Amino acid sequence: MTAGSHAIEVRPATARDVPLIEGWLNDPGNPLWQAKDLLQALSAPAYQLIVACDARATGNNKVENAVPVEQANAQTPLGFALLRGVDNEWNLLYLLVAPAARRSGVAEALLQWLQSNIAHEAGSLLLEVRCGNQAATALYKKCGFVEQGVRPRYYEPLQVGGQREDALLLGWNAVKLNKN
Ligand SMILES: CC(C)(COP(=O)(O)OP(=O)(O)OC[C@H]1O[C@@H](n2cnc3c(N)ncnc32)[C@H](O)[C@@H]1OP(=O)(O)O)[C@@H](O)C(=O)NCCC(=O)NCCS
């Protein structure tokens, strides 16, 4: 798929991807996840870890905004999604795009891939997002997620001395979407 300035390819992650995405994990919105957790998830059947790559970032032909890593190539991740599933109900645990690659359609490509490949047969995708995370909320709504509720004071404060933050529950259901 092509989105923004990127030709984006989405695929299941491998252990080789984790060191490349480790540098983005210092995310104040979701501080609990570390590289070792992603590696564990790779070998756990209930989990899915997928990455989006810049399909055109080969050799000297890197596109604008490609992640600045040594020897960037078509396998260099631009973003990833981590899910846990039970009975075709999938919880999106983590979605993160490299800061240099944002606003290029990477997250949208990851969600579209999940909707087409993971939750397509009567499956559903569920997630929580900080009420103040306007970028993520706009992304999910653009991708067809609908509000299902609020978990009051669910998240730790983003700053020391700050207030706990509500979580917005969002869901996407393949059957409902296909009937519309
Ligand atoms: C939220 C995040 C995943 C978006 O990734 P992205 O690759 O930049 O998003 P996309 O380029 O695919 O954007 C798709 C749509 O999402 C919305 N969106 C994305 N970033 C936005 C922003 N900063 N402000 C407003 N809307 C935004 C827009 O509707 C956009 O469509 P448009 O470009 O046609 O306007 C990214 O900013 C990120 O990694 N943030 C930190 C981690 C995070 O918050 N994860 C989600 C936790 S639940």
Q: Please write the tens of the pLDDT for every residue from 157-177.
A: 988 899 999 999 999 998 865
With vertex at residue 61, the alpha carbon angle to CA 60 and CA 65, rounded to the nearest 5 degrees, is 105
CA-closest candidate to residue 10, choices 110, 98, 78: 110
Q: Please write the tens of the pLDDT for every residue from 92-119.
A: 999 999 999 999 999 999 999 999 998 7
For position 40, which CATH number holds? Answer: 3.40.630.30
> Does any ligand 1 atom lie closer than 6 A to the CB of residue 108?
yes
List, in sequence order, the alpha helices (H) in the chain. Answer: 18-21, 35-42, 106-117, 134-142, 174-179
> Does any ligand 1 atom lie closer than 6 A to the CB of residue 130?
no
Nearest CA, atom 19, ligand 1: 135
> Does any ligand 1 atom lie closer than 6 A to the CB of residue 100?
no
User: How many structural domains comprise the chain?
Assistant: 1
> Which pLDDT score, from 0 to 100, does residue 6 have?
54
Nearest CA, atom 25, ligand 1: 135
Residues of the chain above pLDDT 70, percent: 81
Q: Please write the tens of the pLDDT for every residue from 115-165.
A: 999 877 778 999 999 999 999 999 999 999 999 999 999 999 988 899 999
